[in-house]
């Protein structure tokens, strides 16, 4: 921060001793120490907040990447299913349609007419 050597600190201490006197110097040092400690705590608090915000920004990005991977997987699965349905023999498709029609006929015949069974 400040490039102060030992000699400069002694000069500052002597000037402070002459200006404030020996009675107020310990009180001044205590007050100055508390101020520096409060500033450091505030700086670390701000740094922690910034770090947490950065982590919150990175988390959605990784989530987004996972979603893209999942969507690619789903696209591949859809393509596989499309290929499977394209290669079905025609007889199988007709049988599926006929069974679906039978189910619909059963459902419609089981419905009561005019609300009375």
pLDDT in tens, 42-68: 999 999 999 888 887 777 777 777 777
User: 113 — phi, psi (to 5°)?
Assistant: -95, 140
Backbone Cα Rg of the chain: 40
Alpha-carbon dihedral sign for residues 81, 86, 91, 97: positive
CA distances from 109 to 72, 104, 117 (A): 44, 9, 11
| Residue span of the structural domain in which 36 resides | 7-77
Residue 117 has pLDDT above 50, yes or no: no
Let me know if residue 105 belongs to a domain: no
Report the C-alpha gap between 100 and 72 in whole angstroms.
Answer: 32
Let me know if residue 109 belongs to a domain: no
Residue 39 has pLDDT above 80, yes or no: yes
| First CA to last CA distance, the chain | 93
Alpha-carbon dihedral sign for residues 33, 38, 44, 47: negative
For residue 88, the model assigns a pLDDT of 61
Residue 2 has pLDDT above 90, yes or no: no
Report the C-alpha gap between 16 and 10 in whole angstroms.
Answer: 10
For residue 80, the model assigns a pLDDT of 86
For residue 5, the model assigns a pLDDT of 87
Let me know if residue 67 belongs to a domain: yes
- The more confident residue out of 6 and 106 is 6
Let me know if residue 115 belongs to a domain: no
Longest Cα separation, the chain? 111
Q: Give tens-digit pLDDT for 63-101.
A: 777 777 777 888 888 888 888 887 665 555 555 555 555
Please count the structural domains in the chain.
1
């Amino acid at each position: 921060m400040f490039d102060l050597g030992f000699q400069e600190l002694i000069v500052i201490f002597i000037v402070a001793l002459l200006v404030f006197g020996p009675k107020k110097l310990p009180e001044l040092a205590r007050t100055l120490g508390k101020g520096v400690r409060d500033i450091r705590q505030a700086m670390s608090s701000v740094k922690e907040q910034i770090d947490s915000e950065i982590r919150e920004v990175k988390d959605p990005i990784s989530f987004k990447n996972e979603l893209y991977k999942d969507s690619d997987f789903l696209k591949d699965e859809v393509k596989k299913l499309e290929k499977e349905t394209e290669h079905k023999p025609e007889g199988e498709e007709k049988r599926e349609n006929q069974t679906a029609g039978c189910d619909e006929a059963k459902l419609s015949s089981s419905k009561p007419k005019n609300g009375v069974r």
